Structures are given as C-alpha cells and as structure tokens.
Amino acid sequence: MYNHYVVWFLPLNRGEAVEVIKRAYEIAREHARKAGGRLEPIQPKHIYGGEADKFGYTLQVGRITVTLPPASTLVIWGFYNADEYLDFIRFIHDGRVYEWFVEPIAYYPERIGVWLEEPLIFRNTLYIDVHTTSTEGRDRVYGWPLGYFIAPLQPPQEVKTPRKPKSGQSKRGKGEQT
C-alpha cells in the first residue's frame, strides 16, 4: 500500500516562498557535503538520462521512471508550470505517493509554486506520473520540477566480496614456501 501526501503550493511572490527555497538549498548543500559531491539545479539529464534531448525541460505525459546514479540525491522544493492543461504530478518513492496539484501555478505571474513543507528528497529509483486535462494527443506538458541534484564527485567504490582460496591452495598462494 502507498501512503498519499497532498502537496499545496505557495506563489513565489509570497515572503514564505523565499524561506522555503533557502531551507531547501541548505538541505541540498548538506547532502552534497556528506556525499562529497556537487550540487546543481535539476536538469533534463537527471530525469531522462540518455533521452534528455528528446524532451528537454518538459515532462512526458504518463509515467516517467527516474533511476538516479548511486549515491545521488534529488531535492525538490517547487514547480514551474507554463501549461494550462497540466493537472497534477505524482512522485512515487519508497511506498509513498506525493501528489502535487499544479494547475493553478499556470495562473501565477511567475508560473512558479513553492511547496510549503520540507522539500522532497529522493534517492535510487522514483516514478513521476504526469497528468493532463488536454483532450489532444500530447506527449508532453510544459512544466518542470524545481530543486537540486546532488552527485558524488567520485562514484562510490564497488564492494567486492573476498574470494575464498581454491581447495589445495594455501592463503599465501602457489609455489610459496612456508
């Protein structure tokens, strides 16, 4: 079963919005410090991987599977929406569903909404469901999550299990005298 969380937005022109963005940045910076990594704004390559050029800064209608590189983190604090038909986004991660009703953001002058709570933090694999009210056969909407991507500067070391010596071999190896 999934736990559902409904997210409501605050327009960017409200004072609390600046505090939300500052808090999200500090959280992202702390994750970057702990991972020994770099922090950058979310880009199409972080969502789509090798298919980033196909969609750019738009979201594919339907379900998007986002597989983050090892030890990477996505911190999302808000949403940009320039599509009057974009209805809602669902982020599904570790048994939790975060529903963002984004339609009103298209009517804000800056078209940006900031989530009132703590930023969403994702690792490993997440799913993004994108829903539109358009009756046209569209493959994308003009909206984009706002936040930060944190990646380690060096990929994590692969953990190797110790190999057992072959039967009849000493731990010192072949041909060594004891």
Indicate the domain borders of the chain. 3-152
d(CA 89, CA 142): 12
HSE-CB for 148 with a 13 A CA cutoff: 21
Contacts of residue 133, defined as CB under 8 A and 6 or more positions apart, other chains included, come to: 85, 87, 103
Structure tokens of 67?
């597989």
pLDDT (tens place) for every residue of the chain, 178 residues total: 456 666 667 777 788 888 999 999 999 999 999 988 999 999 999 999 999 999 999 999 999 999 999 889 999 999 999 998 998 999 999 989 988 888 778 788 888 888 877 899 999 999 999 999 988 888 999 999 999 999 988 655 666 676 766 665 555 555 555 4
Rg (CA), the chain: 22
d(CA 27, CA 80): 20
